[in-house]
Amino acid sequence: MLNDTALTRLDTRFPFKRAVITGGASGLGYATAELLAKRGWRLALLDCDRARLRESIRSLADLGASDVSPHEVDTGDEVAVQAAIDLFASRHDGLDFALNAAGVAVAGRFLETPPSDWEWILRINVLGVANSCRAELPHMLASGGGLIINVASAASFVSGADMSAYNASKAAVVALSETLEQEHRRDNIQVTCAMPGFFRTRLLEHARAPDGALGTAKKIMHTSGLEAEPVALEILTGAAAGRTYIVLPQEYRFLWRFKRLAPVSFQRFMIRFRERKEARARNRDGGS
């Protein structure tokens, strides 16, 4: 009931119900599209996966969605992103809401991560979000307000080992979101940054990483017990309440506070955590 009330608050705040979702064909993006489509929102889904985009449109139509437009777009392509969002906004006389969820992953030790992987992830995870915001904001300014949710990750503040490129890209999303919130809150535009921990999604399907690092990440993701749908609902609920930062699940909120209140102690904690993890791995390998 509480979440339904929160979503009703979004409906009331944005009665024209016009939303753009990047990464909308799967995972968190699609889960959010489902929630909004059921409430009569008009949606533009941007995604680079043509097959999944078509599948998502069919699935939303089966749920009764009557106004969902697909846009096959690489968010790293500034011109394509601008064209897709401009087209949707022109058809619907504005834009109220945006979820920028498109992203990719890179894992592995820093010295083993090639510059090409850094360029790839920064182009999508950072420039892709910047391109999306740059296209979305003018329409929200013209409409007199709006809500942008940029999807970062708990990796942005945990900064765990063996994920330097991913950590850096998501930390940049947090910094960008904070800057835009300062620049545009007086324009009645709320910019919220979501920082979820691992949950089950398709993020790792195209990840670039050594086999060992990728296997560990997949194991953590699949054993998380958290699906995209409740994550999407919690993010929308927090955004509807006006929150700037949304960290989930609960154990990551503890780490978020720990890092902010005692950054040096947090860094020491993470170093000890890694040392213990490596010691367990050595003992396991030695005993096999």
DSSP for 115-138, please give it.
Answer: HHHHHHHHIIIIIHHHHHHHHHHH
- What distance in Å separates the CA atoms of residue 45 and residue 245, rounded to the nearest whole number? 24
Residue in 30, 166, 245, 252 annotated catalytic: 166
Q: Quick check: is 245 catalytic?
A: no
CB neighbourhood size of 279 (10 A): 10
- What distance in Å separates the CA atoms of residue 46 and residue 85, rounded to the nearest whole number? 9
Residue 98 tokens, joined: 């945006």
Name the H helices within the chain.
Answer: 2-13, 27-37, 50-62, 78-91, 115-122, 128-143, 155-158, 164-184, 211-222, 228-240, 250-261, 263-286
Enumerate the active-site residues. 166
